[in-house]
Structure 1
Amino acid sequence: MFVSLLIIFTASLVIIALFHRLRLPPVLGYLCVGLIVGPTSFDWVNDSDALPLLAELGVVFLLFSLGLEFSLSKMIALRQVVFGLGSLQVLISGAVLGALLMMFGVTTPAACLLGAGLALSSTAIVSKELGSLGEIFSSHGQNAIGVLLFQDVVAVLLLTLVPVFAGTSDQAWYWALPLTLGKTVVLFVGLSLASRWLLPRLFHEVATSRSAELFVLLALVIVLLTAVLTHLLGLSPALGAFLAGMLLGESHYRHQIEADIRPFRDILLGLFFVSIGMLIDLRLFASHGLLILGLTLGLLAIKGCVVALLVKWRGSDSETAWRSGLALAQGGEFCFALMSQMQQNQLMPADLGGLLLAATFCSMVVTPSLLRAAPRIAARLHRKPNEETRLEEISALNAQVQSHVVICGYGRVGQSIGRMLLNAQQPYIALDNDPVRIEEAAVGESNIHYGDSHRGDLLVAVGLERASLLVIAVDKTDIALLILKEARRINPSVPILVRTRDDSQGPELKEAGATEVVPELLESSLMLASHALVLLGFPEQRVRDRVDQIRHDRYRLLHGFYAGAEDEEL
């Protein structure tokens, strides 16, 4: 086991570093590691009973972290998505896929089970990618998370139904269904009571001890204990971990808990994706490559269209519908476990199982790229019904504005810039994709608009061609780069000021067309240093000249940093 972990971690170190340079998602890197070290490739890692258990813990930690982001009130607000959209998605997708399987000769019981299994999506990949893209609380993100939660319950039910359909269980399906739902309710009530009466007192006692070690241990115990209790109830450990995280999401210790478990989550989740990659037989791609490609595209198209139509039917706009469909179009990790059990119970032939496993794997591999390309794909597939009208309204409101400043991102930094401009009587127009922030800001300001700043038509609507300055104040450099490239396409001559966390991607932003790149960490350090010099009695003009020189030299004097024990985020 130790040798296997050493091989996996070493291969992951090399592959993830390469993928980072190529700006590809780490998830794809871990899947490729599984393919490389697996039994059908170099066969460096032997089968181990401990590896799947460690891999499953990665999903448990991921769902616990995701639960911390959701409060109970938010989950209650999502109940229609979880039980309404989630149940319809599983039923309709499962029925369509099951009917297709029966057309290809699969028996009716196996087709029903397998169709429902293929209807499930990847909780691990979708949750991780939506989180990294900052889209968890977007409309399509909440649709995806709500459906995935319902699918976790369905996955447990499907696994319990395999022996029933195989004739090796005494329990009928109409007893298994209410029993699973009843266990879920019992688990939720029990965790609610614990999170209200027991856990706050435990965290308070540990916090007063001021021991970081005790706090980490308590966080780990909560995650693992929740997973064990859920497993004993016959439910998905990941579902229980999500519920526990959600109930702790409103505590004062939420951010500390999330920071403590992040290292364990990332490493174990990497093992999970490696284990998925090891299940795939590479020889099938050589012998049945075109068939696997067709199955993959068919699975993506059927599930994506079903979800998109359901979301549209529920009253959402077309962009949200298509982006929800793209997020849930892939197969899921539970499908691997389901097909494995079905093969063991002789409910499906091994050759069909191998092809479907390969197609499911391929659909999971392309998911990170689909999520990143979702805005462009959704815009091409369909435009919002009211989008043209909204863009026309924005254009009409700003038609007379000249020599203004466009601010992309109206968070704390964007609002500070806006207030300074307002104080200087400089007109500006701000864009932000947070509907709550826009709703609050629009009460007192009419020059704030909702939308994705990297959309060219929206930048045109706010008059970027006539602007005297563009300020990109978003907190994600990848998004800033997209906005920068689109802005340069629309107006090659406008000065563009880009805010970044540090200067690690400064050259890339300058190459893409940024006039100035302001790394806020270095700039804040420079301001503190200048104040210190003034307080020490140095002449203000001399300090000001020195600051200007450092900025002119692109902060070269401030480069170089001795990292400490508490500098993980830097």
Structure 2
Amino acid sequence: MLSLLSNVLSAPEIDLFAVKPILAVVAAEQAPILLAGVLLSLVIIYIASKIGAEISLYLNLPPVLGELVGGVVVGISALQTIAFADSGVPATDSGVMIVLQWIYQLSPPVTQSIFESQSEIISVLAELGVIILLFEIGLESDLRQLKQVGVQAVVVACVGVAAPFAAGTVGLMAIFHVAAIPAIFAGAALTATSIGITSKVLAEIGQLKSTEGQIIVGAAVIDDVLGIIVLAVVASLAKTGSVDVGNVLYLIVSATVFLVGAVLLGGLFDRGFVAIVENLKTRGSIIVPAFSFAFLMAFLSNAIHLEAILGAFAAGLVLDETDARNELDALIKPVADLFVPIFFVTVGARADLRVLNPTIPANQAGLTIAIFLIVVAVVGKLITGWVVFGKPNINRLAIGVGMIPRGEVGLVFAGIGAASGAIDKPLQVAIILMVIVTTFLAPPFLRIAFDRHASSNSPIDDRTPKIK
């Protein structure tokens, strides 16, 4: 079929009406193979997540850490069964694609095409997983308590962005003589906090509803908004050498209006949601309207150039105030159990631990800078626990540790920086290594921080899952 298409496209006179059906046939022939690749990838992801979570739980560690490690094992750092085309990995490095190529006798061009499509589908499913996770976290959060710790959360977020950004940028320029724009880009990568990883750990150890947990979640949400604004600034700086003030102001205003508006309008939606649920008689009368609202909020958030997870989190906060929240909590968990592991395993699978190999010349300069970035990344977030005021018995260490993981957010900064040419290979390696270390440090140390300091301010809520 590919040779036929090649002949048609190379003909001196091309009949577009003849080409379109041939392209459709090629796509139709690849569709079942693409589906097979996605299904096999999901099987590997689910097995890796479950084995990793069970081992982690057996070792009295948060299961999410096991899911991340499971992703590393099946990812490009170890078995290479799961790989992603957007990471620059060829199809021949993916175990899934090797199996498909052997079964269906695929040519290299077709294999690469399917690999790119399969990678994109798994990435979209992972994004859907983190959207569902944040919707679930919003449902399990207490809006009233979030309001009570709102000022503290804002302070924690601002310090957690400003401190590592300033220290990272100045340190790279003064110590390592990095140029201004690359240093600013690397400093910006230090500002992010992965709300997905932190919130999942808090839920697993039963601290999501605690005062510390609410401060961390609130600060992580604000931190995400600030991170988007910082990214917009440094991306403009890298492309044009100047900052688009109008775009920055737009992001600030739209983020504020969206989050505040979602909370204020929540009371109006509560009554409408309950009325809809009471009038639906078929299966899914609660969960379908709930997910429709969550996805709509995620869409609106994404449409105004914010993160979709912010909209999902806001939707969860709104629905947490409805009378149907207890039943919705129980219904959403099986859905989350299917989609959320895809997110965590793919985060681990994308972590290329080969950057730790000092025998590769391209890694050596990056490793030295990475040590500096890791120290700044950890200390810059740890200090946030000590800026909380009006809470004398608060677990400050837990708050600081909870803000440490960069996760997929840091990888986004590294990817955009490399694509724009703002950062070179050693600095990119350093940023990736910083992301990997902070992502894997947070889950066990967050558990330790809470175990060593049992906060008297932690409310007990039977809706919050706990590790047995």
Q: TM-score range by the shorter chain?
A: 0.7 to 0.9
Question: Cα offset for 1:231?
Answer: 0.6
Distance 2:382 2:45 in 1: 37
Counterpart residue number, 2:424: 349
Q: Secondary structure at the match of 2:284?
A: helix
Q: Could you tell me which amino acid in structure 2 is paired with residue 213 of structure 1?
A: G
Counterpart residue number, 1:485: none
Q: Could you tell me which amino acid in structure 2 is paired with residue 149 of structure 1?
A: V
Is contact 1:93–1:306 with CA below 8 Å preserved after alignment? no
Distance 2:222 2:163 in 1: 14
Is contact 1:158–1:338 with CA below 8 Å preserved after alignment? no
Distance 1:476 1:124 in 2: 16
Q: Could you tell me which amino acid in structure 2 is paired with residue 36 of structure 1?
A: V
Counterpart residue number, 2:41: 4
Q: Could you tell me which amino acid in structure 1 is paired with residue 206 of structure 2?
A: G
Counterpart residue number, 2:144: 73
Q: Could you tell me which amino acid in structure 2 is paired with residue 108 of structure 1?
A: A
- Greater RCO (Cα-Cα under 8 Å, separation 6 or more): 2
Alignment of 1:213-252 (within 5 A): 213-252=284-323
Distance 2:64 2:411 in 1: 17
CA pair 57-298 structure 1, distance change in 2 beyond 3 A: same
Distance 2:286 2:59 in 1: 37
Is contact 1:219–1:260 with CA below 8 Å preserved after alignment? no
CA-atom RMSD, angstroms? Answer: 3.1
TM-score (norm 2): 0.74
Is contact 2:198–2:405 with CA below 8 Å preserved after alignment? no
Q: Which moved more, 1:319-328 or 1:238-247?
A: 319-328
Question: Cα offset for 1:341?
Answer: 0.5
2:236 is the alignment partner of 1:167: no
Q: Could you tell me which amino acid in structure 2 is paired with residue 121 of structure 1?
A: T
Find 2:56's aligned residue among 19, 31, 51: 19
2:247 is the alignment partner of 1:176: yes
Cα deviations by residue, 1:428-461 (Å, 9 ceiling, x for unpaired): xxxx935779xxxxxxxxxxxxxxxxxxxxxxxx
Counterpart residue number, 1:385: none
Counterpart residue number, 1:144: 216
Question: Cα offset for 1:127?
Answer: 0.8
Distance 1:189 1:326 in 2: 27
Find 2:79's aligned residue among 20, 37, 42: 42
Q: Could you tell me which amino acid in structure 2 is paired with residue 342 of structure 1?
A: G
Larger Rg: 1
Counterpart residue number, 1:91: 162
Distance 2:260 2:382 in 1: 36
Question: Cα offset for 1:376?
Answer: 5.9
Alignment of 1:519-558 (within 5 A): none
Query: Where is the strand percentage greater, Structure 1 or Structure 2?
Result: 1
2:349 is the alignment partner of 1:275: no
Is contact 2:370–2:433 with CA below 8 Å preserved after alignment? no
Distance 2:296 2:466 in 1: 38
CA pair 126-189 structure 1, distance change in 2 beyond 3 A: closer
Is contact 2:239–2:420 with CA below 8 Å preserved after alignment? no
Question: Cα offset for 1:71?
Answer: 4.6
Find 2:70's aligned residue among 24, 28, 33: 33
Alignment of 1:154-553 (within 5 A): 154-167=226-239, 172-188=243-259, 191-192=262-263, 195-198=266-269, 200-287=271-358, 294-295=371-372, 298-299=375-376, 301-311=378-388, 314-317=389-392, 320-375=395-450, 433-434=456-457
Q: Could you tell me which amino acid in structure 2 is paired with residue 150 of structure 1?
A: I
Q: Could you tell me which amino acid in structure 1 is paired with residue 328 of structure 2?
A: I
Question: Cα offset for 1:257?
Answer: 2.0
CA pair 252-362 structure 1, distance change in 2 beyond 3 A: same
Identity of aligned residues (%): 26
Is contact 1:58–1:266 with CA below 8 Å preserved after alignment? no
Question: Cα offset for 1:235?
Answer: 0.4
Cα deviations by residue, 1:98-141 (Å, 9 ceiling, x for unpaired): 22222323322332232132122221121111122222233322
Find 1:54's aligned residue among 122, 125, 129: 125
Q: Which runs of 5+ in 2 are unaligned?
A: 1-37, 85-118
Cα deviations by residue, 1:379-399 (Å, 9 ceiling, x for unpaired): 9xxxxxxxxxxxxxxxxxxxx
Q: Secondary structure at the match of 1:303?
A: helix
Q: Could you tell me which amino acid in structure 2 is paired with residue 302 of structure 1?
A: V
Q: Could you tell me which amino acid in structure 2 is paired with residue 345 of structure 1?
A: S
Find 1:109's aligned residue among 176, 181, 185: 181
Question: Cα offset for 1:291?
Answer: 5.1
Q: Could you tell me which amino acid in structure 2 is paired with residue 31 of structure 1?
A: L
Is contact 2:216–2:399 with CA below 8 Å preserved after alignment? yes
Is contact 2:141–2:214 with CA below 8 Å preserved after alignment? no
Distance 2:403 2:393 in 1: 15
2:189 is the alignment partner of 1:120: no
Distance 1:118 1:245 in 2: 28
Counterpart residue number, 1:532: none
CA pair 76-344 structure 1, distance change in 2 beyond 3 A: same
CA pair 117-133 structure 1, distance change in 2 beyond 3 A: same
